A and B are shown apart, each in its own frame.
Chain A
């Protein structure tokens, strides 16, 4: 069983640029969530996708957007990059929308540095 994978591993961008991060969910999972983890902090929820629709969103501006594809893989897009966007971006997948105890399986993350 393949786990959650993310690409690229590392990325360096400059302020004002746009970036796309990619995530492949674990086999059999149809729900993908994205989190931002700034250095020395816990992960913060960005949004969740379920069957290609945004299912919930955290306190992030609209320049953070996403997509989910029919194979349940997902993209996170960030426009007009700011220095504070430098962080580890984590993708997590889960089997489906479930109760609060539904487990989320995390990928290794993409380290984004904005100069």
Chain B
């Protein structure tokens, strides 16, 4: 079954430093992959998605992710962290439903802390 694994439940970086959040997927077919961000007491906001059009995907707020089939990875990066990036980040894979449509299967999340 298709799934995603997020390595590191907590990541701490200094403001201005590189952000790297790890996600590995398990899939027997080319997957559709997503990164979502969740701020405290809020719902999920889509950062970016991979739909096989390009391996390097650029998203909102300066984030990007690279799909690497050989490593079954879809890590999220941002060159320079801002205090406002502190949040929980979820990697997800899309699974087709038998009736059409799709459901999302999420990883366990990575809490990003940005320090001065």
Contact = CB atoms under 8 A, between A and B. Distances in A.
Interface of B is mostly: strand
Contacts, number: 81
A13 B106 CA distance: 27
A103 B46 contact: yes
B32 A42 contact: no
A55 B101 contact: yes
Contacts of A97: 99-101
Nearest to B45: A106
B105 A55 contact: no
A31 B109 contact: no
A60 B40 CA distance: 26
A109 interface: yes
B90 interface: yes
A110 B46 CA distance: 19
Contacts of A48: 97, 101, 103
B99 A56 contact: yes
Interface residues of A, number: 32
B99 A107 contact: no
Nearest to A105: B46
B70 interface: no
B43 A56 contact: no
Nearest to B34: A103
B102 A100 contact: yes
A50 interface: yes
A43 B100 contact: no
Contact of B101 (A44, A56, A103): A56
B44 A90 contact: yes
A41 B96 CA distance: 22
Nearest to A44: B106
Interface of A: 4, 31, 33, 35, 40-45, 48, 50, 53, 55-56, 58, 90, 92, 94, 97-109
Q: Which 8 A-B pairs have the closest CB atoms?
A: A42-B106, A56-B97, A101-B51, A100-B32, A97-B101, A106-B43, A97-B100, A100-B94
Given A4-B43, A97-B99, A109-B43, 9 more contacts: A33-B104, A41-B108, A45-B103, A45-B104, A58-B103, A99-B32, A99-B102, A101-B94, A102-B102
